[in-house]
């Protein structure tokens, strides 16, 4: 983790990531995207990851799928817990900093003066707010269980690796001998594992908390699912360190209006983050994450402009010495017979168009295929052929129905429909194995659309007019090669 300079030009103190406001000389540090580091690490990354996982969680064969977001006692979720009362107390204010985009020089969600300890606590409040909003927006329709937990004070974890050595030595002793809040990494891991896999923890909208033997969140004690009733802890705080239902969560995280507003501002920050991730070379089989939140949030975040944008948030680009270099993600292109073609683009927006045809039949595309081309020179198109990967009939999960209306010439027509959709005049057609056969079939029918061909793993066929079948029931016929 590299250090960056604060607004004064001085190098920020090492404790800047987590507790820079506790000691003189601490100042903000920034992520590569220009966000205050606690906010970027503890919240914005969670916001992005939850979004990217949402579609996979919907398709999970394990029911209910679960999304668990780590919380903390310092986030003032329960106003009876001493840990949340230690100044500076978490306070998101009116979310002015988040509304403005939380980019340098803005350091605090409430747009106030930077305080490292408060920045950390505020970011963890946002995590619990995120959990509550996900629960409200998606649990009923998807069945996904969204929850949060405080696993206890893991005082000797590497969370404090950049703090002063004296603090790292004394803090675990304080938690073991005075507060009795200490939890080992192993026990914290077991608590998290229960939230992940134990059927009793398959609850949504819940903030799980263990009271421990002393009622202060430490080792031992009652399981979180049974820790619902209020009682006195070691410091005579009644109702602390207990599991809270969604309606019992307090502080800023329990404010419905504030939760909704934070969720509305999220896509605007996320859009800028996604653009910067593209600059760093991030590549995924997914749409721009801001798109998934738009229907729920009604966000109208300004997105990168391009004459190739054909649907909201589908295009992400940047400008460099090479010109406009971008990735475009599209969920699907309807091609008839109930099939929707999944495709994606990589490389240079104004580069030489090149499409790569995967093998199989039935293998599906892989982003490794894009690495065969120079992204500074080529506009690279990958797609899953009908019946493969993500290009399946949406109204059926039957393998047999995926091969109906699915012949070589159907695939050739799909390829031409994709070219027309992308408004490409001529393109390089590349492929390997079965992709080579499909490329030759396409060239035999649409020769004028082929700029060049790059083929590998071609097999010699002795009886070219014979219908050759591959796997049982695939209905892929190669007799079309007799026309070449």
C-alpha span between 358 and 382 (Å, rounded)? 8
Q: How many CB atoms within 10 Å of residue 461?
A: 13
Residue 43 DSSP symbol: I
Q: Which two tokens stand for residue 364?
A: 């599906």
Q: Dihedrals φ, ψ of 378, to 5°?
A: -120, 145
Give the N- to C-terminal CA distance of the chain in Å, as an integer.
57
DSSP-assigned states of every residue in 407-435: -HHHHHHHHHHHHHHTT-SSEEEEEETHH
Of the candidates 177, 184, 210, 226, the residue with the CA atom closest to the CA atom of residue 81:
210
Q: Is the pLDDT of residue 107 over 90?
A: yes
Q: Which helix (H) or strand (E) holds 333?
A: strand 323-336
Q: Which two tokens stand for residue 305?
A: 């402009």
Is residue 147 classed as helix, strand or coil in its secondary structure?
Answer: strand
Candidates 3.20.20, 3.40.50, 3.90.1200, 2.60.40; correct CATH number of 14-254?
A: 3.40.50
Is residue 465 classed as helix, strand or coil in its secondary structure?
Answer: coil
What are the start-end ranges of the E strands in 358-480? Answer: 378-383, 427-432, 450-456
| Nearby residues of 291 by Cβ (< 8 Å), 6 or more positions away | 312, 313, 314
Predicted confidence band at 84 (pLDDT cuts at 50, 70, 90)?
A: low
Higher pLDDT, 222 or 416: 416
Are the C-beta atoms of residues 233 and 241 closer than 8 Å to each other? yes
Question: pLDDT value at position 294?
Answer: 39
C-alpha span between 131 and 126 (Å, rounded)? 9
Q: Which two tokens stand for residue 419?
A: 């070219």
pLDDT tens profile 209-266: 998 888 777 888 888 999 888 776 666 667 678 899 988 998 888 888 988 888 877 6
C-alpha span between 151 and 224 (Å, rounded)? 10
Q: From residue 246, how far is each of 142, 183, 208, 446 by CA, in Å?
A: 18, 25, 10, 59
C-alpha span between 438 and 415 (Å, rounded)? 10
Are the C-beta atoms of residues 332 and 311 closer than 8 Å to each other? no
Of the candidates 107, 132, 75, 88, the residue with the CA atom closest to the CA atom of residue 257:
132
Mean pLDDT along residues 158-180: 82
Q: Which residues share a beta bridge with 431?
A: 357, 455
Predicted confidence band at 348 (pLDDT cuts at 50, 70, 90)?
A: confident
C-alpha span between 128 and 138 (Å, rounded)? 15
Q: Is the pLDDT of residue 314 over 70?
A: no
Mean pLDDT along residues 452-477: 52
Q: Which residues share a beta bridge with 383?
A: 343
User: Positive or negative CA dihedral for 183, 187, 189, 194?
Assistant: negative
Question: pLDDT value at position 396?
Answer: 67
* Strand ranges across the sheet with 145-150: 66-70, 145-150, 206-209
Question: pLDDT value at position 342?
Answer: 87
| Nearby residues of 308 by Cβ (< 8 Å), 6 or more positions away | 315, 328, 349
Q: Say if residue 305 is exposed, middle or buried (CB neighbours under 10 Å; 0-12, 13-18, 19+).
A: exposed
| Nearby residues of 268 by Cβ (< 8 Å), 6 or more positions away | 101, 299, 301
What are the start-end ranges of the E strands in 348-398? Answer: 352-357, 378-383
**Looking up tokens 């619902």, which residue turns up?**
228
Angle between helices 256-279 and 45-58 (to 10 degrees): 90
Where in the chain are all domains bearing CATH 3.40.50.1820? 290-483
| Nearby residues of 271 by Cβ (< 8 Å), 6 or more positions away | 288, 290, 301, 302, 303, 313
Residue 16 DSSP symbol: G
pLDDT tens profile 49-65: 888 888 889 988 889 99
Higher pLDDT, 11 or 363: 363
Q: Which two tokens stand for residue 279?
A: 């600059």
**Of all residues in the chain, what percent are helix, strand and coil, respectively (each to 5)?**
40, 15, 45
Q: Which two tokens stand for residue 416?
A: 């031409």
Higher pLDDT, 68 or 260: 68
What CATH topology corresponds to 290-483? Rossmann fold (3.40.50)
C-alpha span between 443 and 453 (Å, rounded)? 9
Question: pLDDT value at position 389?
Answer: 80
Q: Is the pLDDT of residue 298 over 80?
A: no
């Amino acid at each position: 983790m590299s250090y960056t300079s604060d607004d004064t030009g001085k190098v920020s103190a090492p404790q800047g990531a987590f507790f820079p406001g506790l000691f003189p000389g601490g100042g903000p540090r920034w992520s590569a995207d220009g966000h205050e580091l606690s906010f970027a690490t503890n919240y914005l990354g969670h916001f992005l990851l939850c979004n990217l996982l949402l579609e996979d969680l919907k398709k999970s064969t394990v029911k209910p799928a679960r999304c668990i977001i780590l919380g903390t006692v310092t986030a003032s979720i329960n106003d009876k817990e001493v840990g949340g009362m230690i100044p500076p107390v978490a306070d998101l204010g009116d979310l002015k900093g988040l509304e403005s985009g939380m980019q340098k020089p803005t350091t605090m969600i409430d747009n106030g003066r930077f305080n490292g300890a408060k920045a950390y606590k505020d970011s963890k409040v946002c995590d619990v707010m995120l959990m509550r909003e996900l629960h409200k927006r998606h649990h009923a329709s998807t069945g996904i269980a969204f929850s949060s937990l405080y696993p206890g004070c893991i005082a000797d974890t590497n969370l404090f690796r950049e703090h002063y050595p004296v603090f790292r030595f004394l803090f675990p002793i304080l938690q073991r001998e005075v507060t009795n809040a200490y939890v080992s990494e192993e026990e914290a891991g077991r608590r998290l594992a229960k939230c992940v896999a134990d059927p009793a923890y398959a609850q949504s909208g819940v903030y799980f908390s263990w009271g421990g033997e002393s009622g202060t969140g430490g080792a031992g004690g009652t399981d979180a699912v049974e820790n619902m009733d209020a009682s006195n802890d070691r410091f005579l705080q009644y109702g602390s360190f207990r599991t809270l239902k969604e309606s019992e969560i307090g502080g800023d995280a329990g404010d419905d209006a504030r939760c909704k507003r934070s969720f509305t501002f999220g896509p605007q920050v996320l859009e800028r983050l996604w653009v910067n991730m593209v600059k760093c070379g991030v590549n995924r089989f997914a749409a721009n994450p801001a798109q998934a939140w738009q229907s729920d949030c009604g966000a109208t975040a300004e997105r990168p402009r391009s004459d190739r944008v054909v649907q909201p948030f589908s295009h992400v680009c940047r400008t460099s010495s090479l010109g406009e270099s971008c990735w475009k993600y599209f969920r699907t292109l309807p091609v008839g017979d109930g099939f929707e073609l999944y495709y994606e683009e990589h490389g240079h927006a104004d580069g030489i168009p090149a499409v790569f045809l995967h093998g199989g039949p039935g293998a599906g595309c892989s982003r490794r295929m894009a690495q065969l081309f120079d992204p500074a020179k080529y506009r690279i198109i990958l797609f899953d052929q009908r019946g493969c990967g993500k290009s399946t009939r949406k109204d059926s999960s039957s393998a047999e129905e995926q091969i109906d209306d699915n012949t070589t010439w159907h695939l050739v027509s799909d390829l031409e429909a994709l070219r027309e959709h992308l408004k490409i005049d001529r393109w390089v057609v590349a492929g390997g194995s079965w992709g080579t056969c499909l490329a030759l079939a396409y060239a035999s029918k649409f020769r004028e659309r082929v700029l060049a061909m790059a083929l590998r793993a071609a097999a010699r066929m002795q009886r070219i007019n014979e219908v050759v079948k591959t796997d049982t029931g695939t209905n892929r016929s190669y007799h079309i090669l007799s026309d070449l």
